[in-house]
Structure 1
Amino acid sequence: MTASHLHTHRLELDDQTLREWDATVLKSDGEGIVLDRSAFYPGGGGQPPDEGVLLWGGVRTRIVGVRKADDLVLIPHDEDPLPPAGTAVRGALDDERRTWLMRTHSGLHLLSGVVFRDFDSLVTGGNMEAGTARMDFNLPEIPADFKARVEEACNVEVAKDRRIEVKTLPRDEAFAIPDIIRTATNLVPPELTEVRIVDIVGLDTQADGGTHVESTKWIGKIEVLKVENKGKGFRRLRIAIRD
C-alpha cells in the first residue's frame, strides 16, 4: 500500500483538547509511521509539530516529530521499535508541550489583533516555541511607549476572556470576511476549497490551521520582552507567555 492511498483522520482539527486516542497503524517503514487516526499536529503557520508516544504490545515508541507528505508521517525516535502495519496502538501527546504551544499560538493571534487594531499594521513573519515567540510587523514609525502600550493592551484582552472559536468555511465565504488575511502576503494555498478560521471573538479573525485554547484567559499573561528594529520599517516583537 502506498502513502498516496492512506488517509489519516486528523482528530486535532475537531478536538484540540484531545490528548489520547486509539488507532491502527496503516504503514510503518524507514520513513516513519502512518496511523488511521491521529491527534499529532504536523506543524505549520509557525507552530512546531507535536511530540508524544505510541503504546503497543507493552512497548513504547517515542514520536519526536511529524512530517506532512501525502499523509501525516510520524517520526519515531531512532532508538525505538516500529509498530508493524495493522498494529493497534494508543497514541498520547506530550500534554505540557501541546498546551504551551496552544497558549503561545493564541497569544500570537491576540498580539496581531491588537497591533492591527491599534497601529493598523500587518504581520510580515513569525515563529514560536512553547512559551516564547516572535512576530514581525510592518511598522515604519512607533511611539516611544510602544512596547508598554502593546503589552498592556494584550493583557486587557486576555482579561476579557474572549472566546476563541474555530470553524471551516468555503473559500469564497471565508475571503468575504473583512481583513481575514492579517499577513502582508496571503499564505493560503490557492488549491484549498475550504478555509479554517480562528476567531478571537470581537478582536481578531484569521485563516489558520493551528491549535488554540478556548478563550483568551487560558493564554496567560503576555510579556513583550523586546521590540527590535529589523530595518526598512519592520519591527520584531519578542514575547513570552507567563502563568
Structure 2
Amino acid sequence: MATEALFYADSYLRDFEAAVTAVSPDGVALDRSAFYPLGGGQPSDLGELRAHGQVWPVTAVRRRGGDIVHRLEGEPPPAGLEVTGHLDWDLRYAFMRLHTALHALSGVVWTGWQADVTGSHIYDDGAKARMDFSLEGIRINDVRDQIEERLNAELAAARPVRAYELPRAEALELPDLIRTHVNLVPAHIANIRIVEIEGLDRQADGGTHVANTGEVGRVAIINAANKGRINRRLEIALTD
C-alpha cells in the first residue's frame, strides 16, 4: 500500500498519526506521512516518530516506489505499530520559505531577462538556496542588485501561492510550464502538480511552499557567479 503524502494536502501539518507498514534496512514505511522525502531540489524533513514513550529520531526520508521510507536511529518499530510523527518544524518552514523564494526568483528573472532555470537546490541546513539560469551575454553581477530589489518587492506584495493538478496533456500546452521543462516530468504521471505564485510564476513542482510570498520575508543574494558561457548562479539566504 502506497504511503499517503499528507504534505500535499497541508504543507503546514507538523504532527500526525500513522501505522508502520513495512520495515527494511532502508528504514520504516508508514501508511501516511507528513515527512517530505528528498526530491526536486528540496531536502528531506527531519523529526521524530514516537510510540509508548519511545522516540525514534528521523534522520532522512526517501521515496521507494509508492512508499515514503523514514530512516531512523536505533532499533526500528515493528510493522503494525501505531506511531505519531513530529516534524522539525523550524527546518521544514525554512525549506518552505526558501522554496517559494526560488519560484519567485524564477519569475523575476524570467520577467526581466527571459532566462530559463537550469537547476536549483535548497541546502540541508535551511539557511540558503541556489538557482541556476541560462543567461547568455549578461554578467550576473551587473544585474545582481536589480534582481534582489525586484525579488524583495514581489515577496513583500504577499502574492498568493497555490498548488493544484492539471491533466498532463493540458499542462504540456501551457507556455509557462513549457519554459520550466514540464516535459521532463516522467511520462507515467497522468496529472501534474502545479505550484503557482499569482501573477508571477507557474511551474510543475512537487515540493512544499508557504501560502503567500509575504511569509518568506526578505532575502539577500549572498553570491552571484558566472558558471561558464551561458549558466549563471544566484545564491540566496533568508534575512528575516
Q: What's the TM-score, normalizing by structure 1?
A: 0.93
Q: Return the offset for 1:106.
A: 0.5
Match of residue 141 from structure 1: 137
Q: Return the offset for 1:11.
A: 0.4
**Matching of residues 187-198 of structure 1 within 5 Å:** 187-198=184-195
Residue 169 (structure 1) aligned to one of 166, 170, 175: 166
Structure-2 separation of matches of 1:74 and 1:171 = 30
2:90 is paired with a residue of what secondary structure? helix
Q: Which has the higher helix share?
A: 2
Distance 1:100 1:216, change over 3 A: same
Residue identity matched to 1:12: F
Q: Note the residue ranges of structure 2 that are not aligned, 5 or more in a row.
A: none
Q: Return the offset for 1:184.
A: 5.9
Structure-2 separation of matches of 1:182 and 1:94 = 34
Structure-2 separation of matches of 1:155 and 1:97 = 22
Match of residue 3 from structure 1: none
Residue identity matched to 2:189: L
Structure-2 separation of matches of 1:186 and 1:169 = 13
2:235 is paired with a residue of what secondary structure? strand
Q: Return the offset for 1:44.
A: 1.2
Is the contact made by 1:112 and 1:182 (CA closer than 8 Å) also made in structure 2? no
Q: Return the offset for 1:111.
A: 0.4
Structure-1 separation of matches of 2:182 and 2:163 = 22
Identity fraction in percent: 44
Match of residue 60 from structure 2: 65
Q: Return the offset for 1:19.
A: 0.3
Is the contact made by 1:53 and 1:61 (CA closer than 8 Å) also made in structure 2? yes
Structure-2 separation of matches of 1:185 and 1:90 = 36
| TM-align CA RMSD | 1.4
Structure-1 separation of matches of 2:92 and 2:159 = 21
Residue identity matched to 1:116: W
**Matching of residues 100-111 of structure 1 within 5 Å:** 100-111=94-105
- Out of 169-178 and 82-91, give the one that drifted further: 169-178
Residue identity matched to 1:30: P
1:179-224: CA deviations, max 9, x gaps? 2144468431111101000000000000000000000001111211
Match of residue 6 from structure 2: 11
Match of residue 128 from structure 2: 132
Structure-1 separation of matches of 2:178 and 2:205 = 9
Aligned residues: 236
**Matching of residues 1-243 of structure 1 within 5 Å:** 6-70=1-65, 71-77=67-73, 80-129=74-123, 130-142=126-138, 145-183=142-180, 186-243=183-240
1:106-161: CA deviations, max 9, x gaps? 01000011001100000111111213011111111226640000000000101110
Q: What's the TM-score, normalizing by structure 2?
A: 0.94
Q: Return the offset for 1:233.
A: 1.7
2:175 is paired with a residue of what secondary structure? coil
Q: Note the residue ranges of structure 1 that are not aligned, 5 or more in a row.
A: 1-5
